[in-house]
Structure 1
Amino acid sequence: MPSTLKDRIRAARQGGPAAADQAPDSPAELVDVKGDEKVEPAMNDTVMAWLRKYETEFDDALPAHIDRAAFFAAVRAILPKLARCTPASTLQALLTCARFGLVPDGKHAVIKREGTLAVFVPMAQGFIDLMYRSGGVGSVHVGEIRANDEWTYEPTAPAPQDFVHRPDLTKSKEERGDVVLCYAFAWLRNGARSQVIILSREDAEAIRDEYSSAYRDAETAGTADSFWHTHFLDMWRKSCVRRLAKVVPMSAELVALVKTDDAGETGQVQILHAPDPEDARLLAEADAASTAAEASQDAPTPTTARRLPVKRSQPRRKAPRRARRTGRKQAA
Structure 2
Amino acid sequence: MNQISNAIATRDNGPAAMVEQYRADLELVMPSHLQARVGAWIRNTQGLLRRDPKLMEAAQNDVGQFIAVLMDAGRLGLEPGTEQYYLIPRWNKKKRCTEVTGVRGYQGEIELMYRAGAVSSVIVEAVYTNDQFQFRPGRDERPLHDIDWDAEDRGELRLVYAYAVMKDGATSKVVVLNKGHIAKARAKSDSANGKYPERSPWNTDEEAMWLKTGAHRLTKWVPTSAEYMREQLRSKAVVDGELRPEPLPVTIPAPAPGTVDDDYDEDPIEGELVED
The reply to whether TM is greater than 0.5 is yes
Q: What secondary structure is seen at the aligned counterpart in 1 of 2:130?
A: coil
Task: Tell me how large the CA RMSD over aligned residues is.
Answer: 3.2
Equivalent residue letter for 1:146: Y
Q: Deviations over 1:94-153 (max 9, x none)?
A: 122112111114221111110221112211111111112222222101111111112222
Q: What secondary structure is seen at the aligned counterpart in 2 of 1:198?
A: strand
Q: What secondary structure is seen at the aligned counterpart in 1 of 2:32?
A: coil
Structure 2 unmatched runs, 5+: 1-9, 92-97, 231-250, 264-276
After superposition, where does 1:28-177 map in structure 2 within 5 Å? 47-66=15-34, 67-79=37-49, 80=52, 81-85=54-58, 86-115=62-91, 116-160=98-142, 163-172=143-152, 175-177=153-155
Larger fraction in strand: 2
In the superposition, the TM-score normalised over structure 1's length comes to 0.57
Structure 2 Cα separation of the partners of residues 197 and 181 of structure 1:
10
The higher-RCO structure (CA 8 Å, 6+ apart) is 2
The percent of aligned pairs where both chains have the same amino acid is 27
CA contact (8 A) 2:133 2:145 kept: yes
Q: Does 1:248 align with 2:222?
A: yes
Q: What secondary structure is seen at the aligned counterpart in 2 of 1:185?
A: strand
1:197 matched residue in structure 2? 175
How far is the alpha carbon of 1:48 from its aligned partner?
A: 2.8
Structure 2 Cα separation of the partners of residues 53 and 222 of structure 1:
29
CA contact (8 A) 1:145 1:182 kept: yes
After superposition, where does 1:11-22 map in structure 2 within 5 Å? none
In the superposition, the TM-score normalised over structure 2's length comes to 0.67
Q: What secondary structure is seen at the aligned counterpart in 2 of 1:186?
A: strand
Q: Deviations over 1:156-214 (max 9, x none)?
A: 32423xx1112122333xx22122111111001121101221111222002222x3344
Q: Does 1:206 align with 2:184?
A: yes
Structure 2 Cα separation of the partners of residues 158 and 243 of structure 1:
20
Larger fraction in helix: 1
Q: What secondary structure is seen at the aligned counterpart in 2 of 1:168?
A: coil
How far is the alpha carbon of 1:44 from its aligned partner?
A: 11
